[in-house]
Amino acid sequence: MSSSSDNQAERMTAYLDAELEASEAEAFERYLEDEPQARSELEDLRKVMQLVGKLGAVEAPPDFVEKVARKVRRRATFDRDGGGLLGLVTLPFQVICIIVILTIAALNMMAQLEAQPQAVERDAAAEAADEAEQADDAPAPRPIVP
């Protein structure tokens, strides 16, 4: 929207609210006579304002102010921090990250524990094979004769 159309919209609202001075109101009415589209917009705006005026008042919940203030503080904190990574890190996201890290660590430990007994068994089998080879290579013991 251009600034002139913004200005005309403000003048329409002020005209409907009877906030224009007499000379401004007359000038605006002359403008409306020359511009049928503006006159149509004014009538539409008048109808909308009448409908809105018929609506009943709505009362905000008792904790509305507290909730809004909390959200404003939270957004102000994120804006102050530049809205970077800290803006993405919320409590649920932190909890999910911790759970994922703990799961990966537990799986890694389980894999290491499963691999370690196999290594010990292989070492024992290798030692037995080495002892058997050494026994074969060693000279046979001499019998003791009395």
pLDDT, tens digit (0-9, with 9 covering 90-100), for 29-41: 998 999 899 899 9
Q: What is the pLDDT of residues 102-114, one digit of tens each?
A: 999 999 988 888 8
103, part of any domain: yes
In terms of domains, do 52 and 92 share one? no
Q: Could you tell me the pTM of the whole model? A: 0.40
Residue 128 counted as domain residue: yes
Has residue 120 got a pLDDT over 90? no
Q: Residues 56, 92: one domain?
A: no
- Work out the average pLDDT over 38-50: 90
Asked if residue 127 belongs to a domain, the reply is: yes
Average pLDDT, the chain: 80
Number of domains, the chain: 2
Pairwise CA distance, residues 89 & 95, whole Å: 10
Q: Does residue 1 lie in a domain region? A: no
- Contacts within 8 Å (CB) and 24+ apart, 44-53: 45/12, 45/13, 45/16, 46/16, 49/16
Q: What is the pLDDT of residue 138?
A: 56
User: Are both 55 and 92 inside the same structural domain?
Assistant: no
Task: Report residue 22's pLDDT band, with 50, 70 and 90 as the boundaries.
Answer: very high
Domain coverage including residue 93: 88-137
